[in-house]
Amino acid sequence: MAIATINPADGRTVEVFDPLDEAAVERRLARAQSAFESWRLTTFAQRAELMHRAAELLDQTNEQVARTMTLEMGKPLAQARAEAAKCAKAMRWYADRAEALLADEHPAQEDVRDSGGASAYVRYRPLGPVLAVMPWNFPFWQVVRFAAPALMAGNVGLLKHASNVPRTALALEDLFARAGFPQGCFQTLLISSSAVEAVIRDERVVAVTLTGSEGAGRSVAAVAGDEIKKTVLELGGSDPFLVLPSADVAAAAERAVTARVQNNGQSCIAAKRFIVHTDVYEEFLSAFTERMRALTVGDPAAEGTDVGPLATEQGRTDLEVLVGDAIGHGASVACGGARPDDPALADGWYYLPTVLTGVTPRMRIHREEAFGPVATVYRVADLDEAVAVANDSPFGLSSNVWTTDDADRERCVRDLRAGGVFFNGMTASHPAFPFGGVRRSGYGRELSGHGIREFCNVTTVWSGS
């Protein structure tokens, strides 16, 4: 795949970039190693000052950054502005809290004595240059939620971004440079996917984090495993959205629309499978379908657009194949199920917000991730069936449950196989809460104290006298 900015709203190639050659990659790896040797010795206060400066610069350039994201991957402009603001918030959160999150830990004195020691503590030390292989769907946020904690911990970052968001990748490098981070602390590698293996195998790269497809995760994890290097993987998701009898159905239907079509439906944590108790099924389906049908599909740079184009033509094709397979096996289309017929949108990679009912395990969409504005709605008889359908997925990123019943809540926390359970709302990431999944959604955690410690050497320091 070429490294290029292609506007998904009209299919037009805006700019093509030459990938770095081996010599250029070598220079950047050497620069990263050199930067780490000095950066790891800086104080938390020094790091925090630069991180705050980066956040301020990002706020100042919010509109420019947002328009770059919208141009490259089709995110509605209002959502792009919100993404940039969220990144600045995360930078400040880690700048203010990293020192406390990585403070020395002291075991109970009785345990120290039992070990035969006079004193002992645990210290979190940085590992070195970490490679981040990042996707296009949240092109700033996915990177910042790695970079902010990694840099505050004393590591340095190397970014291999998705090939369709090169302007965003370069803007990220420029942001940290303008904030005053030393040369080599954060660098973008404009390289093809085929060049990633060599970077992972380089002895100067100590760990890898990847957000992306299951296939990409398998490939990166295999190479890193062969080199015995730490990895964190955040992969696909097909999150359930349970609506139970005690729910506020109108509120659930309203939030369900946002949960499904945020980022044009191209979000790992978007709710994709709506599992509704039979007692409230008709009410929910009617309200949900009406709201999905009413969304404005159009130019992502226009202020009133709710749903823009998919980021790639292949992505739309893949979505059409999934929907076609479901219809061919008996699913019903409550709304959407096709490209828009507006001639003004014909050159872009648009797809109408879609609601499918009557989905069964025979259909691919039952177990595969639909990466676009397509929702599947299931009718279930009781909570047992709701949990069974929710868990009938290879993924386990997050989940959403609408109920006011305490017993329902406890049952869902106990039994839903996912990295998060969100009640009476929709899954969202926040710097304070760990983010990640189980099963084929990956392993490890980003954000919170768990995220900043993922790429640290957890060091036991023991003294006998």
- Domains annotated on the chain, with CATH: 4-234+440-463 (3.40.605.10), 239-428 (3.40.309.10)
The CA distance from 318 to 337, in Å, is 13
- Which amino acid, residue 360? T
For residue 303, the model assigns a pLDDT of: 95
Q: Using CA atoms in the order 274, 280, 286, 291, what is the torsion angle rounded to 10 degrees?
A: -60
Q: Classify 13 as helix, strand or coil.
A: strand
Contact 85/207 with Cβ under 8 angstroms?
A: no
For residue 155, what are the CA distances in angstroms to 96, 210, 234, 435? 17, 16, 20, 20
pLDDT tier at 465 (50, 70, 90 boundaries)?
confident
For residue 415, the model assigns a pLDDT of: 98
The CA distance from 437 to 249, in Å, is 27
Averaged pLDDT, 53-80: 98
Contact 181/148 with Cβ under 8 angstroms?
A: no
Name the one residue in this structure whose structure tokens are 């100067």: 204
pLDDT tens digits for range 216-231? 999 999 999 999 999 9
pLDDT tens digits for range 179-193? 999 999 999 999 999
Residue 1 has pLDDT above 80, yes or no: no
Percent of the chain with pLDDT strictly greater than 90: 99
Averaged pLDDT of the chain: 98
- Which amino acid, residue 310? L
pLDDT tens digits for range 359-381? 999 999 999 999 999 999 999 99
Averaged pLDDT, 389-395: 98
Catalytic residue among 83, 87, 173, 268: 268
Averaged pLDDT, 340-363: 98
Averaged pLDDT, 43-71: 98
Contact 220/234 with Cβ under 8 angstroms?
A: no
In the DSSP assignment, the letter for residue 105 is B
pLDDT tens digits for range 134-162? 999 999 999 999 999 999 999 999 999 99
Burial label for 435, CB within 10 Å (0-12, 13-18, 19+), is buried
The CA distance from 372 to 352, in Å, is 9
pLDDT tier at 12 (50, 70, 90 boundaries)?
very high
For residue 181, the model assigns a pLDDT of: 98
Averaged pLDDT, 52-58: 98
The yes-or-no answer on residue 268 being catalytic is yes
Catalytic residue among 72, 234, 368, 369: 234
Q: In 191-243, which ranges are E strands?
A: 207-211, 230-234, 239-243
CA nearest neighbour of 439 among 397, 387, 389: 397
Averaged pLDDT, 379-390: 98
- Residue 447 φ/ψ region, left for φ over 0, alpha for ψ in the -120 to 50 degree band, beta for the rest: left
pLDDT tens digits for range 245-286? 999 999 999 999 999 999 999 999 999 999 999 999 999 999
The yes-or-no answer on residue 63 being catalytic is no
CA nearest neighbour of 261 among 391, 400, 370, 141: 370
